[in-house]
A = this chain, B = another copy of it.
Amino acid sequence: MKSDRPSSGIDRRVLISSLALLPALSGMPFTAIAQTQAAQDSTLGSWNDGPAKQAILDFVRATTDRASPKFVPSEERIATFDQDGTLWVEHPIYSQVIYCLDRVPAVVEKDPKLKNVEPFKTVLSGNRDAIARLSMHDLEKILAATLTGMSVEEFNAEAKKWLTAAKDPRWKRPYTDLIYQPMLEVMQHLRSNGFRTYIVTGGGQDFVRTYSEHVYGIPPEQVVGTAGGTKFGYHKDGKPFLTKEPKLLLNDDKAGKPEGIHLMIGRRPYAAFGNSDGDRQMLEYTGAGDGVRLMMLVLHDDAKREYAYGPAQGLPASKVGTFTQALYDEAKKKNWTVISMKNDWKRIFAFDQSA
């Protein structure tokens, strides 16, 4: 029996109850369409119109529209993001290195004979110039002493405590406030289109995992980073635990990035974001896949709102996040998109209300 009433053919209660069964839909209002429209208008809201914003929108459309010849099945939608300098401030020094330096007094308290041993002695002196001159070898000693030799739980607790208390000297805010709002919006846009977003960082995997979920919405299992081994053992009461060991398993930088992606994900990304020569191989590996791929590099060219350093395009050189002219040239040649923080981003941080 036919009827012209709009409700014909559907039992509304069944439909509503069906919706309630689906976790992804819990709380989803029936005005979804209007909201989706509004969401589209505010997609990438902190981006100025221009080629960078357009490249993101075009890529998502081409890979998720079933009618597109470049359509990518949802299980293959992987996007990888470098962290330092791509998702948050890295200049003048990586936040995790500050964490390690801040941990030195506690390490020395536990092992007092280190007090007069370099490089710990220099760190304890508080002499900023001397600390800045520490060699990579010295730094590695500090990283090993402050990041290993404790249980995973102890490390997590210390890192979380520090992240709550420590503040960046320029902005006087927790380091986790110094996330680039436009990049959060890219991750959200990708995720709402079925992409899984991964961090692929030269930073410590365990360190980044302590805050990635609440800061980026990226769960620990989607953080690939420089990783040391752990050692399984038992407490006196028989309870097992893992100790962080000073044994490098994955140096997740440069060629280590595609190698880490293969180890931890086992799929080639469709989109990759970086900001330095450390990300070159990840972008090359991403770009070598078939179909449409998105490769983007953040260029720090905004001395006023953040920092300006290169040496790409004649910007002053920096000890961190080196974006060489060679990388810039490769990006241009391969049609990777260079994001100008100055021109492409309306605002840099969520707390920045000037935009």
Task: Name A residues whose Cβ lies closer than 8 Å to a Cβ of B.
Answer: 5-7, 10-15, 17-18, 21-25, 28, 30-33, 36, 74-75, 152, 194, 205-206, 209, 213, 219-221, 223, 227, 229-232, 239-242, 249-250, 255-256, 258-259, 262-267, 281, 284-285, 288
Residue of A17, A194, A242 with highest tally of chain B CB at under 10 A: A242
Chain B residues closer than 8 Å to A255, beta-carbon distance: 231-232
Contact: B249 with A232, CB < 8 Å?
Answer: no
Contact: A18 with B6, CB < 8 Å?
Answer: no
How many of these chains are in the complex?
2
Q: Assuming the A-B contacts A22-B24, A239-B288, are A232 and B205 also in contact, with contact meaning beta carbons closer than 8 angstroms in the complex?
A: no
Contact of A152 among B5, B21, B223, B262 (CB under 8 A): B262
Chain B residues closer than 8 Å to A240, beta-carbon distance: 258, 281, 284-285, 288
Could you give 22 example pairs across A and B, Cβ below 8 Å?
A6-B12, A7-B12, A10-B12, A14-B31, A14-B32, A14-B33, A18-B36, A21-B32, A22-B24, A22-B25, A23-B74, A24-B24, A25-B25, A75-B219, A152-B262, A205-B263, A205-B266, A220-B265, A221-B264, A229-B259, A232-B256, A232-B259
CA distance A232 to B279 in the complex (A): 13
Chain B residues closer than 8 Å to A285, beta-carbon distance: 232, 240, 242
Chain B residues closer than 8 Å to A229, beta-carbon distance: 259, 263
* A285–chain B nearest beta-carbon distance, Å: 5
CA distance A268 to B157 in the complex (A): 16
CA distance A205 to B266 in the complex (A): 9
CA distance A7 to B3 in the complex (A): 13
Contact: B221 with A266, CB < 8 Å?
Answer: yes
Chain B residues closer than 8 Å to A265, beta-carbon distance: 220-221
CA distance A5 to B241 in the complex (A): 60
| Sample of 16 further A-B pairs with CB below 8 A, known A7-B7, A14-B30 | A5-B7, A10-B30, A11-B30, A15-B15, A18-B30, A21-B32, A22-B24, A206-B266, A220-B265, A221-B264, A227-B263, A229-B263, A232-B255, A232-B256, A232-B281, A241-B288
Contact: A258 with B242, CB < 8 Å?
Answer: yes
CA distance A32 to B25 in the complex (A): 14
Contact: A267 with B24, CB < 8 Å?
Answer: no
Q: Assuming the A-B contacts A14-B32, A18-B28, A25-B22, are A213 and B75 also in contact, with contact meaning beta carbons closer than 8 angstroms in the complex?
A: yes
* A205–chain B nearest beta-carbon distance, Å: 7
Q: Assuming the A-B contacts A14-B30, A21-B33, A23-B194, are A267 and B75 also in contact, with contact meaning beta carbons closer than 8 angstroms in the complex?
A: no
Contact: A249 with B220, CB < 8 Å?
Answer: no
* A97–chain B nearest beta-carbon distance, Å: 22
Contact: B259 with A230, CB < 8 Å?
Answer: yes
* A271–chain B nearest beta-carbon distance, Å: 16
CA distance A12 to B258 in the complex (A): 48
Residue of A13, A240, A264, A284 with highest tally of chain B CB at under 10 A: A240
Chain B residues closer than 8 Å to A231, beta-carbon distance: 255, 259
Contact: A18 with B33, CB < 8 Å?
Answer: yes
